[in-house]
């Protein structure tokens, strides 16, 4: 089981990465309902601004934040890795780079790129497992910060996202990474059931 494998690793030496999209005026609100109750209707609003970013955090550092200016395909992803991962990756083969199973990440040319640059990959990442990626908590922290900034357009949204990335303390990354031990143990205790 992947959770058991990850629990035996020193999580201080994993570089956690992912993409995140922020949207203004989207209909992506979460609504809780009782079992059997009808799904609430909601008004469809126009998306006034949308910003996608890529970032990477680890116990003792973080990458620069990449503001993605187009859809991420394998070529663009390799460009992100070249410009944002390689300049900051710690100089030690103890580190493993985590990425999920998005198509650009698993493309043959991406795998070749990672091998050519000797990026030590955390293998066998399970599909649909954001609960075991600490960067998801980083995005949540940043979302709270961005909401407080109350952006109204793409420029102010980008500015708020960049400010959030700059302001989040390294101790917060450490706490999220340390908390992963509890999440992994809970997954093991429930035999992988959510």
Residues 131-175 have pLDDT tens digits of 899 999 999 999 999 999 989 889 999 999 999 999 999 999 999
Angstrom distance (rounded) from CA 76 to CA 64:
16
pTM of structure: 0.85
Angstrom distance (rounded) from CA 59 to CA 169:
11
**Helix or strand holding residue 172 (H, E):** helix 170-189
| Second CATH level (architecture) for the domain 2-20+48-189 | 2-Layer Sandwich (3.30)
Q: CA distances (Å), 187 to each of 13, 27, 66, 132, 175, in order?
A: 21, 31, 32, 9, 19
Q: Which of 2, 6, 186 lies closest to 96, judged by CA?
A: 6
Count of other CB atoms within 10 angstroms of residue 80: 20
**Helix or strand holding residue 58 (H, E):** strand 49-58
CA 59 to chain centre: 15
C-alpha angle 40-41-47 in degrees, rounded to nearest 5? 125
Q: What is the pLDDT of residues 99-128, one digit of tens each?
A: 999 999 999 999 999 999 999 999 888 877
């Amino acid at each position: 089981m992947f959770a058991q494998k990850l629990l035996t690793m020193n999580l201080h030496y994993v570089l956690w990465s992912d993409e995140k999209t922020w949207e203004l005026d989207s209909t992506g609100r979460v609504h809780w309902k009782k079992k059997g109750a009808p799904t609430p209707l909601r008004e469809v609003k126009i998306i006034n601004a949308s910003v996608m970013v890529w970032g990477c955090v680890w116990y003792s550092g973080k990458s620069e934040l990449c503001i993605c200016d187009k859809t991420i395909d394998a070529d663009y992803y390799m460009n992100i890795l070249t410009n944002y991962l390689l300049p900051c990756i710690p100089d030690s083969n103890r580190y493993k780079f985590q990425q999920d199973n998005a198509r650009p990440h698993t493309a043959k040319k991406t795998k070749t790129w990672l091998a050519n640059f000797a990026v030590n990959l955390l293998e066998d990442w399970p599909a649909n497992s954001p609960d075991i990626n600490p960067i998801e908590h980083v995005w949540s922290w940043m979302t709270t910060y961005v909401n407080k900034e109350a952006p109204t357009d793409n420029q102010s949204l980008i500015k708020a996202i960049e400010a959030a990335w700059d302001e989040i303390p390294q101790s917060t990354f450490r706490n999220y990474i340390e908390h992963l031990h509890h999440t992994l143990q809970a997954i093991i205790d429930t035999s992988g059931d959510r």
